[in-house]
Amino acid sequence: MKRTQVLELPAEEIVHQREIMREFASREDRPRTYFVVTYGCQMNAHDSEKLEGMLLEMGMTKAQSRETADFVIFNTCCIRDNAERRALGNVVWLKELKKTRPEMMVAVCGCMMQQPGMGERILRQYPFVDVAFGTHNLYRFAQLMLQALQTRRRVVEVIEEEGSIPEALPVHRSSPYHAYITIMYGCNNFCSYCIVPYVRGRERSRASARIIEEARQLKAEGVREIMLLGQNVNSYGLDVEGELSFAQLLESLDQVGIERIRFMTSHPKDISDELIDVMARSSHICHALHLPVQHGNNRILQSMNRRYTRESYLDRVALLRRKIPDISLTTDLIVGYPGETEEEFEDTCSLVREVGYDSAFTFIYSPRAGTRAADMDGQIPAEVSSRRIQKLIGIQKEITRERYARYMDGVHSVLVEEISKRDENQMAGKDEYNITVNFPGTPEQIGQIVRVKITSAGESTLRGEQV
């Protein structure tokens, strides 16, 4: 069902929230320093940049570490069990610290909080957490903090329904050269294994005019690379009548003139011919595409509710390679999905070989309460899944080596980001394919795009010399 217009929070609400931030900043009893601990995907990393924007307006400065901060906030993830356990483990660890520094404030937010019953669980089992909220009310962060300070009571607010989109919140970007732009929130796909639609709500696109304006502003500030974010960017605009399609949005953003445009994540079922054509003819869209396939077997793909087949996926890949011969493809893969037989797993291995990804993220299936797959028969024993994932990682390693060998002697453009962690005479940055490249250079080059001839390859990085 289409909306007639983009759902935005009324501007007065944001003005009101910013007043609260200033009120908070004027309080003598406010925490003075903060530390944000982030788990999970880029969407969460960008949410943390918004939290930092608000924290600075609330009159706090960033602490060197979580141990020394007056206020620590955990922005959590729940995509797999280990992400959740790690977050909760660290929250508990803070409990000890708080014993020695009782004035310290602790907050928990993000996807983990959106799961049913989590608010009550925090109240019951984690008495040292002062403030907790979910993904849908992030914009009310200052208000919840002020309430906790005023009442000296714990504040837990989780809203189940996704709301309207907050625009014009402050944001503190972690890099002056590359920036995230959210283009849409939520996901409608309900892949059988995935918790995201439950914790991030239905798809809501931001207005294209807002997105383009944000890109223009970033260009004026000297940003050289933007990453467009959404759980399924290919369905951008479909929820709003008369809105641009994703391909059209990309075309408009290409005109803005920022040197590099990337986007994630793309759902293979929605990669349109139009999108491939726009990528091929654009001046600034990187020839790199993250295209999660998840599995190589049709029975499993169907059970996962992915709505494409191995064959139709391979057709898309063939078209991409024909129209954009240098395209670098990466993917996500799941092993140990309920009922996965040895032969079905082998189909994933053969697909990986057939496509030739530059790299792949491999995951062991993790049952998530409330998703369809969690209740399926045939859950795979841990030792079988680990053996399968080890095999798959080995295969991908070999393919990465072959792919990287093709880059030898090629000249790549590298956006220089930092001094290499391994060698202070080397600089490190990302090339157009999103691969880390190291080369002998100087710190003055940080923020510049330089031409580097590739001379050798490591397991996940390239090395070269400036030309």
Question: Interface residues with ligand 5AD (CB under 6 A)?
Answer: 79-80, 193-194, 292, 294, 332, 334, 363, 365-366, 368
**Sequence-ordered alpha helix ranges (H) in 257-381:** 273-281, 298-303, 310-323, 342-355
Tokens 């600089």 belong to 427
Near ligand SF4 by CB under 6 A, which window of 82-90, 164-172, 185-193, 339-347? 185-193
Q: CA nearest 14: which of 142, 196, 151, 206?
A: 142
Exposure on the CB side of residue 277, measured as CA atoms within 13 A: 5
Binding to ligand SF4 (CB under 6 A): which residues in 336-395? none
215 binds, among ligand SF4, ligand 5AD, none (CB under 5 to 8 A by kind): none
Helix-strand-coil split of the chain, %, nearest 5: 40, 20, 40
**Is the CB of 189 or the CB of 298 nearer to ligand SF4?**
189
| Of 267, 290, 310, 403, the one binding ligand SF4 by CB under 6 A | 267
Shortest Å distance, C-beta 305 to ligand SF4: 8
| Of 232, 235, 266, 348, the one binding ligand SF4 by CB under 6 A | 232
Shortest Å distance, C-beta 395 to ligand SF4: 22
Shortest Å distance, C-beta 296 to ligand SF4: 16
Can you tell me the distance from the alpha carbon of 192 to that of 194, in angstroms, rounded to the nearest whole number? Answer: 6
Can you tell me the distance from the alpha carbon of 157 to that of 134, in angstroms, rounded to the nearest whole number? Answer: 7
Assess contact for 27 and 33: CB atoms under 8 A: no
**Is the CB of 305 or the CB of 445 nearer to ligand SF4?**
305
**Is the CB of 137 or the CB of 189 nearer to ligand SF4?**
189
* 190 binding ligand SF4? (CB under 6 A): yes
* 196 binding ligand SF4? (CB under 6 A): yes
* 197 binding ligand SF4? (CB under 6 A): yes
Shortest Å distance, C-beta 194 to ligand SF4: 3
At residue 375, φ and ψ (nearest 5 deg) are -100, 5
Dihedral of alpha carbons 85, 91, 97, 98, sign:
negative
Helix (H) or strand (E) holding 403: helix 382-406
**Is the CB of 189 or the CB of 466 nearer to ligand SF4?**
189
41-83-54 Cα angle (round to 5): 50
* 293 binding ligand SF4? (CB under 6 A): no
| Of 91, 107, 194, 256, the one binding ligand SF4 by CB under 6 A | 194
Shortest Å distance, C-beta 366 to ligand 5AD: 4
Rg of the chain taking only CA atoms, in angstroms: 23
